[in-house]
């Protein structure tokens, strides 16, 4: 599994079409950071891909950044691993954003189940 570090997160390439993103504790994701992660994902993958968003660390995402994240057309599916109640509430809110409506997003409390859903 390849590991890549960007300014606010780690990206693990699990398969040729799946990446796991683990945002650093305390990060506050803004539009510039979304552009950074989009650019990096497009460098890693030549075709469409799915994401496992691992919310085991506490971080925040600005609303405009959250809206922008869901606009990357190369994303096939997004599984969100939310290991606690606060992470689940955050993930459920993120999935309800209108730009996320076109995405296939599911929230899981078990990482293995989330990964199995992507495969």
Render pLDDT for 75-116 as a digit per residue (tens, 0 to 9): 999 999 999 898 888 888 887 776 666 778 899 999 999 999
How far is Cα 32 from Cα 104, in angstroms, rounded to an integer? 24
**Taking the model in full, what pTM does it have?**
0.92
Q: Which domains does the chain have, with CATH numbers?
A: 2-118 (3.30.750.24)
Among 86, 51, 87, 44, residue whose Cα is nearest residue 69? 51
**What are 22-68's pLDDT values in tens digits?**
999 999 999 999 999 999 999 999 999 999 999 999 999 999 998 89
The tokens for 79 are: 């599984």
How far is Cα 17 from Cα 46, in angstroms, rounded to an integer? 9
- List residues bridging with 81 in a β-sheet: 54, 108
């Amino acid at each position: 599994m390849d590991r890549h570090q960007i300014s606010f997160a780690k990206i693990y390439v699990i398969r040729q079409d799946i990446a796991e993103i683990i945002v650093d504790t305390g990060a506050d994701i803004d539009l510039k950071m979304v552009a950074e992660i989009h650019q990096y994902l497009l460098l890693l993958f030549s075709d469409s891909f799915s994401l496992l968003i691992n919310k085991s660390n506490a971080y925040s995402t600005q609303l405009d950044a959250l809206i922008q994240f869901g606009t990357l057309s190369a994303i096939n599916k997004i599984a969100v691993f939310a290991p606690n109640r606060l992470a689940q509430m955050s993930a459920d809110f993120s999935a309800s954003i209108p730009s996320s409506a076109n995405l296939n997003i599911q929230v899981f409390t078990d990482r293995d189940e989330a990964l199995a859903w992507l495969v």
